[in-house]
Amino acid sequence: MKIEFKTSMLLILLIALSVGLQAQQAYRLMQNDSEKIELRLNSTTLTSVEVKTDAGYFSRLVMDQFHSSVQVGDPELPTLVKLVEIPLCDDIELHVTPGDFVIYDAADLNISYPVFPAQPSYEKSYDGPIDLIKNTQTYQQDQFFAATPLVTVNPIGQMRDQNLAELTFSPVSYNPVTQQLKVYQSVDVEIRFVNSRPSETAAMKRVYHTPMMSVPKSLLVNPAEPQRAEWNHNPIKMVIVSHPMFETQLAPFIEWKKRKGFIVDLALTNNPSVGSTTTTIKNYLKALYDNATETNPAPTFVLFVGDVAQVPTFSGTEGSHVTDLYYVTFTTGDHLPDAYYGRFSATNASELAPQLEKTLMYEMYTMPDPSYLDDAVLVAGYDSNWSPTHANGQVNYLANNYINTGYGYSNIYKHLHPCSAQAALIRQQIGNGVGYANYSAHCGPTGWGDPSFENHHVPAMNNEGKYGLIIGNCCQSGMFDNS
């Protein structure tokens, strides 16, 4: 399937359809306590984008602050998706009071084509045909189609001190035969907590809250009030799970973390209480979490030191990609991490040494000349149809909002797709030393795909003493089991 977003949309097709929907926030919090949450959910400005496919033209609906429904083949409709922090309780009850709705003829809103059907997500490694999927039966029904119920709320799990649920609001339904849209202007929602346990919730927060790990406020409809600061005095703990061969070598790193104020526990795999299997290591870490107190906190960071033969790892649920995620899913019933985790992958001391050296130089700010930190390289690589929108979009977003002179950068080398021919220049720019680099496209375990930057290019770099944060925003950059 070939899909084109008409380039003139920036001038014409992103039409703010003044359909009686005033520019406003998509939600307003009315009440938030241990018994219930009350919200008013609002539709926002509705726009349309013309989409050209091999199957003809469609109109994609876009609503400010909203995502899109994901029922493949059915009309793609605006859906608000937010997180709700809820207290510990036995259950939640949802009560919805719909407000007024308006039915619009699509033509009156400058919507000229059928609503675009939602399409599946594809892995970046997928090279097969991509055909438009459209549920013909849905598009032949003379009735209003809603992708999901008007409002839903479902628990998704506990991440450390935050018990979370997902809230969705789908205010738009669509009749594909009459080409009409039904839009709810607002909806009042009440979420009640059955047998709420506020004392237990407060105790959980006192023990498990850390200012370094919480859901961003922008994702929550009911972010915590400022009094949460009273829990910020809890110390930060790092647990290092290591093969015993690295014990002496880790001493300077551990000392540095302690100087920064961390509590550091070194857990060696030859210690019977730690063990050398995924089960025993997970049990050891979970015991630290379950038995935490305000003065002896649960781990905020877990660092594994060693390759898979030295410290074993898990396999993901899809394919055979290795992962350390399940070491830190301490609360039951979900896959939300309850601590940050990472790994220094090394089979011997010589492989670990440069990782420690570069990390300490960067964190301690002991580089000979720190001026390189003001330089950045942003790369939008080749990613089939998605390069112009997704890869270029990410790079432009970074450059416009964060990686720019306003944040102290002096030289920003931005490479938008197509930039395959700039591979040598990109390697040279990063090889001279940069404070930040970001690549978004395909990659393998040994390097970036296109533009190419592989392991065998590293010896030609001239960045000794100039180490920065380099991100491979690509599928296989974390396959540390690959040699």
d(CA 185, CA 100): 6
Query: Considering the domain boundaries, does residue 59 fall inside one?
Result: yes
Q: Are 35 and 158 found together in one domain?
A: yes
Evaluate whether residue 179 is within a structural domain. yes
Residues 163, 61, single domain; the answer is: yes
Q: Are residues 66 and 199 in the same domain?
A: yes
Regarding whether 247 and 223 lie in a shared domain, the answer is no
CA 122 to chain centre: 17
Identify whether residues 264 and 145 lie together within a single domain.
no
The C-alpha angle 374, 379, 385, rounded to 5 degrees, equals: 160
Assess whether 260 and 170 both reside in one domain. Answer: no
Answer with the one of 364, 381, 403 that is the final residue of a domain. Answer: 364
Instruction: Mark which of 341, 364, 387 sits at the end of a domain.
Output: 364
Query: 253: number of CA atoms within 13 Å, CB side?
Result: 24
For residue 483, tell me if it sits in a domain: no
Q: What is the phi-psi region of residue 78: left when phi exceeds 0, alpha when psi lies from -120 to 50, beta otherwise?
A: beta
223 and 241 together in one domain: no
CATH at residue 459: 3.40.50.1460
- Do 396 and 463 have their domain in common? yes
Listed as own residue / partner, the contacts of 197-202 with beta carbons closer than 8 Å and 24 or more positions apart are 197/87, 197/88, 197/89, 198/34, 198/87, 200/88, 201/34, 201/87, 201/88, 201/163
Residue at 481 is within a domain: no
Asked, for residue 480, whether it belongs to a domain, the answer is: no
pLDDT at position 234 is 75
pLDDT values of the chain reduced to their tens digit, one per residue, 483 residues: 334 444 333 222 333 333 444 457 999 999 999 999 999 999 998 989 999 888 999 999 999 999 999 999 999 999 999 999 999 999 999 999 999 999 999 998 889 999 999 999 876 666 677 889 999 999 999 999 999 999 999 999 999 999 999 999 999 999 999 999 999 999 999 999 999 999 999 999 999 998 888 888 889 999 876 555 455 567 899 999 999 999 999 999 999 999 999 999 999 999 999 999 999 999 999 999 999 998 899 999 999 999 999 999 998 777 678 899 999 999 988 999 999 999 999 999 999 999 999 999 999 999 999 999 999 999 999 987 778 888 999 999 999 999 999 999 999 999 999 999 999 999 999 999 999 999 999 888 888 999 999 999 999 999 999 999 999 988 888 877 777
Do both 83 and 163 map to the same domain?
yes
Give the dihedral sign, CA 448/453/458/463.
negative
Count of domains observed in the chain: 3
Please, which residues have CB within 8 angstroms of residue 217's CB and are 6 or more apart in sequence? 223, 224
417 and 328, same domain (yes or no): no
CB 177 within 8 A of CB 157: no
Half-sphere exposure of 3 (CA within 13 A, CB side): 23
Where is the domain boundary, 309, 331, 364?
A: 364
Structure-block tokens of residue 110: 């400058």
Length of the chain, in residues? 483
Structure tokens of 249? 């070598």
Domain match, 349 and 436 both = no
Which neighbouring-strand residues pair with 63? 46
Residue 478 falls inside a structural domain? no
With vertex at residue 482, the alpha carbon angle to CA 476 and CA 483, rounded to the nearest 5 degrees, is 135
Identify residue 7 by its one-letter amino acid code: T
For residue 58, the domain's CATH number is: 2.60.40.3800
Q: Pick the closest to residue 329 from 321, 313, 340 (CA basis).
A: 340
CATH number at residue 241: 3.40.50.10390
Q: Which domain holds residue 465?
A: 370-473
248 and 216 belong to one structural domain: no
d(CA 200, CA 205): 9
30 C-beta neighbours (distance < 10 Å), count: 12
| Rounded Cα gap, residues 460 and 480, in angstroms | 23
